[in-house]
Amino acid sequence: MEKPTDATTPCNATDAARITALINRSPVVAIEWHNQPGWPVGFVSDGVAQWGYSRDDFISGRIRYADLIHADDRPRIELDVAEHLANGPDDYRQEYRIRTASGTWVWLDDRTWLTRNEHGNVTDIHGVLLDITAIKIAEAEVRRLNATLEDRVAERTAQLQAANQELRSFSYTVSHDLKAPLRGIEGYSQLLLEQYRDRLDEDGHHFLISIRRGAMHMHELIEDLLTYSRIERQTLDIRAVDLPALVQGVLDGFAHEIRAQGIEVVVKELPPQIRADPSGLTLVLRNLVSNALKFTRATSMPRITIDAYRRDRHLVLTVADNGVGFDMKYHDRIFEIFQRLHRAEDYPGTGIGLALVRKALQRMGGTVWAVSEPGQGATFHVELRQ
């Protein structure tokens, strides 16, 4: 292996000429100051021409380099140089502005090293100067953008908060102002039914029952809408959940319907513990089971199967039924609020259930999709990040 060339190794005349040419052609300016009062310049390369000066401006002492340094930077630079001269280290780097001959300012990256005599006193200061004005401008622009970005984020956040607040007062209005007249309709129709039953003929009785059914449906709608808007505001609580117990709890809630409809419920082997928001997951399963119950009502030998499988780092829960199913061209629409594929008189509901499922899952960072065929039942897949 060749011995690396020491920086102080003298080079021959060809090398010197080559290095001079390289430096003079490069964007850097090489400069040497004597460590004497006023820091007279002993050498400077041709590069100073880029700032409108000649080498002789400095060599002759016509221009003092220190005078070119920006007044805001000068005290800092002088202090810094004095510190390095006294205590080292002898290699250092500084950034400051100098004035060009035309009066503009350029930023310099000044890489400096010191030469000391046998007593340790600095005799010469050597510097390689590089114009970094473009970098400085870009940095300032990035800083400005960052600052305005924060402003813009703050502004957008404020807008979103205002919109959110509006939504809250909207849901409050829904609950408060829509429920008040409903209490009147429900209450008085009940009184009418109880106190005037014998004075109503069959038609009158039918009308009254229809009014009450409408009021009841309205009440369900309001409650579901409130649940829907509440999901947004609830804090997420992702933790270890006993899945079999949670599923059983949901099924227990439907025990009456399951018995009444004679539905076979099959729960396959589920992972004992998963990570989820228990109240969100309960809401999801409750709505999916309720959905399955509704659409198997006309099925002979109705069956609901709950299963789970792993997919990468996700757990997928499935709720399958053998009910009426749906055409896959509607597979996305069923999760939109107020979208229904069946006539309300055939399958009553508010059209909010599956929208609730999707929204609750979005908040948990999960997804839901359905696979079905008309008459062949439907399988809902609930994917949860683990």
User: Counting contacts by CB under 8 A, is residue 209 touching another protein?
Assistant: no
Span from 62-70, 176-184, 272-280, 341-349 in contact with another protein (CB under 8 A): 176-184
Whether the CB-CB separation of 230 and 266 falls below 8 Å is answered with no
User: Counting contacts by CB under 8 A, is residue 337 touching another protein?
Assistant: no
Distances (CA, A) of 271 to 217, 238, 249, 253, 291: 38, 17, 16, 21, 23
Output the six-digit token pair for 195: 């106190």
Nearer to another protein, 180 or 301 (CB): 180
User: Counting contacts by CB under 8 A, is residue 183 touching another protein?
Assistant: yes
Contact pattern for another protein over residues 129 through 148, marking x by CB under 8 A: --------------------
User: Counting contacts by CB under 8 A, is residue 191 touching another protein?
Assistant: yes
Span from 48-56, 72-80, 182-190, 235-243 in contact with another protein (CB under 8 A): 182-190
User: Counting contacts by CB under 8 A, is residue 186 touching another protein?
Assistant: yes
User: Counting contacts by CB under 8 A, is residue 184 touching another protein?
Assistant: yes
Q: Which of 152, 156, 176, 275 binds another protein (CB under 8 A)?
A: 176
User: Counting contacts by CB under 8 A, is residue 197 touching another protein?
Assistant: no
User: Counting contacts by CB under 8 A, is residue 179 touching another protein?
Assistant: yes
Which of 290, 281, 376, 270 lies closest to 327, judged by CA? 376
φ, ψ of residue 256 to 5 degrees: the values are -65, -50
Q: Which of 1, 86, 180, 301 binds another protein (CB under 8 A)?
A: 180
Contact pattern for another protein over residues 215 through 254, marking x by CB under 8 A: x---x------x---x------------------------
Span from 61-69, 129-137, 141-149, 180-188 in contact with another protein (CB under 8 A): 180-188
The count of chain residues that interact with another protein, using the rule CB under 8 A, is 18
